[in-house]
Amino acid sequence: MEIENDGLLGAWNIGADGQPHPIGWDEIDDPIPEGGWRWVHLHRDGAKAQAWLLDGETPPDTLSWAMLAEDTRPRYTEIEGKGLLILRGVNLNDGAEPEDMVSVRVFVDAQWIVTVGLRRLRAVDSIIVEIEEGHAPPTPCAFIERLVRALHWRLEPVLDELQEVIEAHELEALSDNHPPDRITRAAFTDARQDAVIIRRHIAPQSATLRELAKRPPFWLDSGEVLAEEAEAFARIVEDLDDIRERAAVLRDEMSARMAERQNSIMLVLSVVSVIFLPIAFVTGLLGMNVAGMPLTETRSGFLIICGILIAMAGASALLVWWLLKR
């Protein structure tokens, strides 16, 4: 996400009639129209955006520093009647991996929404589009509910894709007698890693939303929507656990099959070694260029030696067969 306009990605006054009115830096600190509220969307690395956050009264300094932090995890903090909600969404930007999740830091009170991001988040973009089309959230509470719902909707296809990866190779991996190929093993490994990474952020996000719904803050009109979304994220966490466990079971099964194949190969090599070891010993012994070697003066000596070697190979093969049958 490029830094434009000194970090101001967008700002709107939402009037009492629900109509949005775009504003710029010059109007960002003006009084909010009666009955309305204001949304300010900032890039974290914008110089003027950082200065406005740290030097102004909205948000408070403690929350402003938290909004500019390098590393964040989903949580909700309330200070002096002001709230900070940190959420995560899947990364749907071009060339990015969905599991490389994007954070959005949201300051919220009765008349303000201030969002700070470092990378583009499609859930936020969707709200911007709705506002530009004249369908702005009527209250900060409605904005939060719409944002959480958008994060959920964009996570579902990623979860479905992970499940499809597992299902696409699962039957083949379990029914085929041969060990799975490298592509199948890589697909399982990637799916398991993606599930682990996404779960690390979604689990605390579900807990945060559940806590908000259970103890609604001042800006939350009703906790019903967030409670439903908390349950939806909890279900996603369960599905991610299921994907991780299935991938782990399949990985163990594939490892066992690869071990069985290696053991079979080693067994064949051992059998061949047992059969040819006495032959190699005899041929090595007869290959010594010293006096006294037997059958050197006999016309049929070569045939006799070949017969002895064949007999030894047959005896070795019978011995191996007997040992394997025990």
35: domain CATH number?
Answer: 3.30.460.20
169 shares its domain with 287: no
Identify the domain boundary among 206, 234, 258: 258
The DSSP 8-state label assigned to residue 94 in this structure reads T
Q: Is the model's pLDDT at 2 over the cut of 60?
A: no
Task: Name the least confident of 61-65, 132-136, 146-150, 253-257.
Answer: 253-257
pLDDT at 181: 67
Same domain, 99 and 192: yes
Lowest mean pLDDT among 29-33, 118-122, 177-181, 302-306: 177-181
- 152 and 277 in a single domain? The answer is no
Structure tokens belonging to residue 7: 């970090």
- Do 154 and 271 belong to one domain? no
Co-location of 203 and 283 in the same domain: no
- Taking residues 114-125, what's their average pLDDT? 92
Is a pLDDT exceeding 60 seen at residue 317?
A: yes
Domain carrying residue 316? 267-325
Q: What is the pTM of this model?
A: 0.77
Evaluate the omega torsion of the peptide bond into residue 140 and state whether it is cis, within 30 degrees of 0: no
**Which of residues 233, 258, 283 is at a domain's end?**
258
Tell which wins on pLDDT, 193 or 289.
193
Which of 53-67, 96-110, 170-184, 287-301 shows the lowest per-residue confidence on average (mean pLDDT)? 170-184
- When pLDDT is averaged across residues 159-183 and rounded to a whole number, the result is 73
pLDDT, mean of residues 93-112: 88
Residue 253 burial (C-beta neighbours within 10 Å; 0-12, 13-18, 19+): middle
User: Do 37 and 123 fall into the same domain?
Assistant: yes
- Between strands 75-79 and 82-89, the pairing is antiparallel
16-26 in b/e form (b: 16+ CB < 10 A) is eeeebeebeee
Q: How far apart are CA 69 and CA 89, in angstroms?
A: 17
What is the number of domains present in the chain? Answer: 2
Long-range contacts of 49-54 (CB under 8 A, 24+ apart): 49/6, 49/7, 49/8, 49/116, 50/7, 52/28, 53/114, 53/116
Write down which residue in 218, 236, 258 finishes a domain: 258
Question: Per-residue pLDDT for 180 more than 70?
Answer: no
pLDDT higher than 70, residue 230: yes
DSSP assignment of 33-91 equals PTT-EEEEEEETT-HHHHHHHHHSSSS-HHHHHHHT-SS--SEEEEETTEEEEEEEE--
Shared domain for 224 and 288, answered yes or no, is no
Indicate if 89 and 160 belong to the same structural domain.
yes
Same domain (yes/no): 27, 174: yes
Average confidence (pLDDT) over 257-265: 76
Examine the pLDDT at 251 and tell me if it is beyond 60.
yes
Position 56 pLDDT exceeds 80:
no
Closest CA to 230 of 159, 158, 151: 151
Would you tell me the crossing angle of helices 224-286 and 301-325 to the nearest 10 degrees? 150
Residues 112 and 30 in one domain: yes
